[in-house]
Amino acid sequence: MARPPAEVRFPGDKNRRKKVKVRGIKQASKQIQQRLERDLDALLEDPKIFLPDIKTNLGKPRRDMMAASLKEIEYVSKKRYDRKWLAKRMVKRRGDIVARALAGSLLAALDGDHSTVAVFNNPIYGSSSFIRRGNGKQSHQAAIQNFKNHKLRLLVWDEHAKSGHWFFSWKDGFEYTGTIPQAPENWIDAALEFSSIKFSGEDYRWSKGLDEETVKNDIFSDSGWLKITFQNGVIAGISQSSLTKTEDGFVPSIALTMLPPKISEIVKAEWMWKPIGWPKERDLPAKGLEKLDEILLAWMSMALEDSSLAKECRKSILNSIEDGYVCGNNWFDSSCQDDFLEFLSGSDDEKSAISTILDKLEGGVHVRQDGLVFDLDERVVRFEENSCHPLLVSLWKDHGFIVLEEMFGLTGTEAEEIYNKQLQRKQGFGAFLRELNNNLSTAKKLDLLPWSHTSLPQPLSFADKLIRKAGDDGVASTVSLARKGKGLDAAMGWAWLVVHDRTESDAWRFDSASRDKGSDWVPALQMLWESATKILSGDDSSSRDEYIQSMEKLAEISGAGKLTSP
């Protein structure tokens, strides 16, 4: 009977152990162990080392949440060497929650084993290592054991903050001001010094892009700046450029050193700006100021990013103006439409088109930067864009027919065809209006020519067609048409090519009879073309008489007979 195969063993099998990973638990580095040992030893020596300085009168423990916590913390402190008692207190469901976390931290200090730690991760306050013991909140235990972290230690008091208690922490201090948000002066100085924006000055602070005079005297700027005033009278000015360049938000950099993180309770914020052109003696619209306050409050509540603040503040004011013309950050009085149009970027034709639309408006209009158009009851024109082309693209759908009729006299089917073509392809309006103007101008000039090819006999009707096409599209465009003539039209076509010296490569296309006849008609056709060019170029009125005489002469020598009066 065959033996079973020998079991294969590898070196180290006897010592191999299965590793079990526990979420949030890690092996502490030597550096972390040393830090925890120092901090826990300090906590064990003075269990109240994590407490803030009390800067208010406390009530009785039954009615004052902070007084109740301090009472239990005092009791836990006295029991800090009683392992059995601490073990019971750290899992006790009733009683003060801060005292529960403290009991677990003190027991961790007594245990002395700091090799395995828990990790507290918070997207706002960062991550910290701590030793977890008992049922106390992780954030409380992490904050107590990392009491030197001036931001993290605030989290011990999160439940108190929800009940309206205020705490202020900075590197050199930690204060509790009761239910009144009274920011310590040292905290204000530290908050500004270590904020995400760098300031110059002392009583008056200013960021890059501003100066002391501007902040001290509340001088408005074209781009606007933010003025914040603290409870103790310290004023700081922040330029728009400083706000847009911050990697970390300005409000979080300050608010995360206080609890609750509501700087709106200790700071007054103002946006120092008026539209360019707004009268100095005129107040800004009340609606706009009300909306502005809402935006500043949203910013102080960390619901609006620094980079968006300036734009939103200006928009709140601009969109509340109910008269005149608003474009970008500029305002023009109702009587200054010419100045408003001059401010726009575009050709004269584009500005004329916009002027035509504005003159026909029954109310107001708001054209947003994304192209959306809103009709307004107020007599105000608001353009967020100052370039004429995108404005006309937005306005063309509702006002294109007005432009075609008022500027070019186009109506009916002809206007509808041009309107739809431009609506679909959105050609550059400068080129579109210029081309349309040139075409219509040429058409009007061609209408000055006496007779038309429908009222003239052959071959004069063909001569008229050649002249009109040359006036509209140029002489080169008539060569192909001249070649296609039949009978007498062929003779007239040859005469036309001779007048314009275009016969060199086309003689073979015409029979000898057409060339002979056409050659006889050349002088009269030459006179007819010269008088036509004078009419089309806007020359004096005598050109019309010359044209009529030339056409009558051509009719005589070509055998077309006597012509009716044009």
- Spacing of C-alpha 310 from chain mean position: 11
Predicted pLDDT of residue 207: 95
Name the nearest CA neighbour of 132 among 122, 141, 121, 144: 141
> Which of 38-52, 114-128, 152-166, 292-306 is predicted least confidently?
114-128
* Residue 158 pLDDT exceeds 70: yes
Residue burial 312-346, b: 16+ Cβ < 10 Å; e: rest: bbbbbbbbbbbebbbbbbbbbeeeebeebbebbeb
pLDDT (0 to 100) of residue 219: 94
pLDDT of residue 16: 46
| Model confidence at 439: pLDDT above 90 | no
CA angle 409, 410, 412 (to 5 degrees): 135
Mean pLDDT over 323-347 rounds to 95
Cβ contact 320:285 at 8 Å: yes
What pLDDT is stored for residue 239 in this prediction? 96
Task: Tell me the mean pLDDT in the region 479-499.
Answer: 88
With a pLDDT cut of 70, the percent of the chain lying above it is 93
Q: Which helix (H) or strand (E) holds 335?
A: none
For 357-404, what is each residue's pLDDT tens digit?
A: 999 999 999 999 999 999 999 999 999 999 999 999 999 999 999 999
pLDDT-derived band at 10 (thresholds 50, 70, 90) equals very low
Within 10 A of 375 (CB to CB), how many other CB atoms are there?
11
User: What is the pLDDT averaged over residues 482-509?
Assistant: 85
Section 46-63 average pLDDT: 95
Poorest-pLDDT segment among 28-32, 81-85, 232-236, 299-303: 28-32
Q: What is the pLDDT of residue 8?
A: 45
